[in-house]
Amino acid sequence: MKKIYFNQPIKRKLIILITCIMIISLMVTVAGLQYAFYSYDEQIYVKSSEVLNMSANNIEHELKNIETVSYSITTDPLIQQYLTTLKEAETEYEKFSIRSKLADKVLNLIKSEAYIEAVHIVDTHGEVHIVGKRPQHISTAIRENIVFHSNEASGSHIWMDQLESDIPLVSSREIRRYQDLSFEHLGNVIIRVDTDKLIRHFMDSSKKTEGYFLIQNHHGERIYPLEEEGIGKLTFTSKDESGYRFETINQRKYFIVQMESDFSSWHYFNIIPFNEIFRQILLVKTGIPILFIVMFVVVLVIGIKFAQSITNPLENLAAGMKYIQNGNFSKAKSEILYMSKLHKDEVGELHKNFLAMTQQIDDLIHANYSKQIMIKETEFKALQAQINPHFLYNTLESINWLAKSNQQMQISHMVESLGYLLRNSITWKEPLVSIDEELKIVGNYVTIQKYRFEERLQFHIEVDTSLYPYKVPKLTLQPLIENAIHYALEPMIEPCWITITSVKREKTIELIVKDNGPGMDEELLERVQNYHVQTKGQGIGLKNIDGRIKRLFGKQYGLRIESEQGIGTSVIILLPYEKGWDQGDV
């Protein structure tokens, strides 16, 4: 069975695989749903209680916060000062000014409180100062009742509810002078709470199922909702104990969860129609298998399309490979590998890269014969080129012999130096030479130049002899001396001093080529440092030297150029403080 499956085309294997996965997924999903529904039937009772408890805790938290605001108002030093001053004020202007300051201070304390409708400050004269979003007056009888109970509490906080139809809940506290510990009566603070907004916010945000929330005080009076709608039309008996129960109300069965608050002594109810819960579960139980079947058909169609998008290009590639195997590249490219719709996925990239590879192989096969002919011609020219240096060396030796015979020692010295330079510039078998050998190359080059410039060229070598065994890239110093002659010596009339010095540090060596030429301004120096200046001659430039040093030793080494106009130029060569490089590893 396994062998039969793996021998099937990829398209068919994908369809079989998708079908098996969907069937297994359906079986696992049905089993999981059965278990989930069973657990849901048991947990719904607990969850309803948790939702009710969470809502109640949030409401109680906000009520405690309002108590904190009440305490902040009564103990605020400025408010106590204003009430004390107001008590002793004589003119109406003084009273007006104090009332304004008092209102501003209270407003500042409650501006971030979303559930406070208004704050009523009752002073010792019985006058009321109202601050808030909805500054509505409280009737005199109710206000006096609140003040009476507040004074009885002696500075403690009290809650009063169901005072009027539009005053479901207020917070009150006596304001007493505490700064001199006299506890003199300064007034009362009454906070009107936007009960509907507070409770609706937390109840509605916590509502997970179809049902109703109800809140009653300890007298059985309804606090929320106040409107006679929904559960408001239902009547049932409130039980003292917390918990849950089933109860039939108006010939409908309800699941009722009840809890009592320890903070406010309110009773919270979550009332859920029993049939609504299990009707939804039955709908889910029926709808999920149908949805799964629809998904299976959709996924199967998409899977077939997806399989074709993969297998068609692969079949196209396989056919093209057969043409290439027979050497028919043009047929493979023109008839098989060309596709009008080629996606940019992995298969499309494989198709495109295989087409490019086929083109490259075809080009290489056609170019191979001409390249072989070019190789033969290059080998012949290389053998022929080996004759020219030997002929030049022999000619220079003949000139040297003739000069010595005629007592022309200057010409002899120049020819010998030229021969030495020629041998070293042509021979590049070793990329590194010792500092000693590099200085000899420089010495021969300077010998030739001194016959030209005579006393104008003052050349000195002040390199530490202990550094002579250390390695430098071949032809590093000579091009720098050549640049010094071109750009420092030639523009000058008076003698030009060119010096090679050295500095030995802990891990590096610095070879410095310094001249007293005209130097460079900052703009020209920056261009030279970035290698943006075209050299005059055809020799090795600064960029070439710096690049060879970096490739041989690393990017932290190379050339550094310093120059000051009218003083001269210094080129510093930074090299590693190591010797005995293995030339085969460079």
Partnered with residue 185 across adjacent β-strands are 176
Separation between Cα atoms, residue 326 and residue 74, nearest integer Å: 100
**pTM of structure:** 0.41
Contact 84, 95 (CB under 8 A): no
- Lowest mean pLDDT of 33-42, 168-177, 407-416, 530-539, name the range: 530-539
Q: Is 130 within the bounds of a domain?
A: yes
126 and 261 share one domain: yes
Judged against a pLDDT cut of 80, whether residue 507 lies above it is answered with yes
Can you give the pLDDT at residue 416? 66
Degrees to nearest 5, angle at CA 399 with 398 and 400:
90
467 and 403 share one domain: no
Residue length of the chain: 586
Contact 348, 313 (CB under 8 A): yes
* Highest mean pLDDT (candidates 356-365, 424-433, 442-451): 442-451
Q: What is the CA radius of gyration of the chain?
A: 51
- Positive or negative, the CA dihedral 20, 21, 23, 24 is positive
Contact 511, 500 (CB under 8 A): yes
33 and 158 share one domain: yes
Element (H, E) at 411: helix 409-426
Confidence of residue 562 (pLDDT cuts 50, 70, 90): very high
Element (H, E) at 353: helix 346-385
Q: Is 399 within the bounds of a domain?
A: yes
**Residue 128's CATH number:** 3.30.450.20
Degrees to nearest 5, angle at CA 161 with 160 and 163:
100
Judged against a pLDDT cut of 80, whether residue 421 lies above it is answered with no
Can you give the pLDDT at residue 497? 92
423 and 440 share one domain: no
Separation between Cα atoms, residue 170 and residue 223, nearest integer Å: 12
Confidence of residue 499 (pLDDT cuts 50, 70, 90): very high
456 and 401 share one domain: no
Separation between Cα atoms, residue 211 and residue 139, nearest integer Å: 37
Half-sphere exposure of 173 (CA within 13 A, CB side): 19
Give the residue numbers spanning the domain of 523: 433-585
Instruction: Provide the 10 A C-beta neighbour count for residue 139.
Output: 11
Can you give the pLDDT at residue 461? 92
**Tens digits of residue pLDDT in 213-254:** 778 777 777 777 766 555 544 455 555 566 667 777 777 777
Q: What is the dihedral of CA 96, 102, 107, 108, to 10 degrees?
A: 130
Strands (E), 385-494: 432-434, 457-462, 471-473
Separation between Cα atoms, residue 34 and residue 399, nearest integer Å: 110
Judged against a pLDDT cut of 70, whether residue 98 lies above it is answered with yes
Look at phi and psi of residue 500 and say left if phi exceeds 0, alpha if psi is from -120 to 50, else beta: beta
Residue 13, SS3? helix
Q: Is 360 within the bounds of a domain?
A: no
- Lowest mean pLDDT of 215-229, 481-495, 518-532, name the range: 215-229
408 and 446 share one domain: no
413 and 460 share one domain: no
Q: What are the distances in angstroms from CA 496 to CA 46, 366, 452, 524, 534?
A: 101, 60, 13, 21, 23
Half-sphere exposure of 374 (CA within 13 A, CB side): 5
Judged against a pLDDT cut of 50, whether residue 580 lies above it is answered with no
Residue 176, SS3? strand
Separation between Cα atoms, residue 188 and residue 292, nearest integer Å: 66
Confidence of residue 293 (pLDDT cuts 50, 70, 90): confident
32: burial class by Cβ within 10 Å (0-12, 13-18, 19+)? exposed
Q: In what order do the strands lie in the sheet with 267-273?
A: 222-224, 212-216, 267-273, 252-260, 243-249
The more confident residue out of 464 and 181 is: 464
Contact 186, 84 (CB under 8 A): yes
Average pLDDT over residues 458-481: 90
Omega cis (within 30) before 576: no
243 and 171 share one domain: yes
Q: Is 251 within the bounds of a domain?
A: yes
422 and 505 share one domain: no
Q: Is 456 within the bounds of a domain?
A: yes
Contacts of 180 (CB under 8 A, 6+ apart): none
Judged against a pLDDT cut of 90, whether residue 572 lies above it is answered with yes
- Write down which residue in 299, 322, 339 finishes a domain: 299
277 and 162 share one domain: yes
64 and 170 share one domain: yes
- Residue located via tokens 């129960």: 245
Instruction: Provide the 10 A C-beta neighbour count for residue 200.
Output: 14
Judged against a pLDDT cut of 50, whether residue 90 lies above it is answered with yes
Instruction: Provide the 10 A C-beta neighbour count for residue 422.
Output: 15
Can you give the pLDDT at residue 557? 92
Q: What is the percentage of the chain residues whose pLDDT exceeds 70?
A: 75
Average pLDDT over residues 551-567: 90
Q: What are the distances in angstroms from CA 201 to CA 47, 443, 548?
A: 19, 96, 76
- Write down which residue in 299, 314, 348 finishes a domain: 299
Average pLDDT over residues 335-350: 64
Structural tokens at position 279: 């009707």
Can you give the pLDDT at residue 540? 59
Q: Is 350 within the bounds of a domain?
A: no
CA nearest neighbour of 69 among 150, 145, 172? 172
* Highest mean pLDDT (candidates 219-233, 264-278, 415-429): 264-278
Can you give the pLDDT at residue 571? 94
Confidence of residue 276 (pLDDT cuts 50, 70, 90): low
Separation between Cα atoms, residue 475 and residue 498, nearest integer Å: 17
Contact 446, 459 (CB under 8 A): yes
Confidence of residue 510 (pLDDT cuts 50, 70, 90): very high
* Domain count for the chain: 3
Can you give the pLDDT at residue 539? 47
- Residue located via tokens 């089933």: 246
Separation between Cα atoms, residue 194 and residue 109, nearest integer Å: 17
- Positive or negative, the CA dihedral 436, 439, 445, 446 is negative
Separation between Cα atoms, residue 265 and residue 271, nearest integer Å: 19
**Residue 515's CATH number:** 3.30.565.10
The more confident residue out of 471 and 221 is: 471
- Residue located via tokens 């090795």: 540
77 and 221 share one domain: yes
Residue 51, SS3? helix
- φ/ψ of 459, rounded to 5, equals -115, 135
The more confident residue out of 476 and 316 is: 476
Q: Is 339 within the bounds of a domain?
A: no
- Write down which residue in 403, 427, 451 finishes a domain: 427
**Tens digits of residue pLDDT in 361-379:** 777 777 776 777 777 776 6
Can you give the pLDDT at residue 463? 92
- φ/ψ of 509, rounded to 5, equals -125, 140
Q: Is 233 within the bounds of a domain?
A: no
CA nearest neighbour of 549 among 509, 503, 506? 509
Q: What is the dihedral of CA 476, 478, 482, 487, to 10 degrees?
A: 40
Judged against a pLDDT cut of 60, whether residue 84 lies above it is answered with yes
Mean pLDDT of the residues in the chain = 77
Instruction: Provide the 10 A C-beta neighbour count for residue 111.
Output: 11
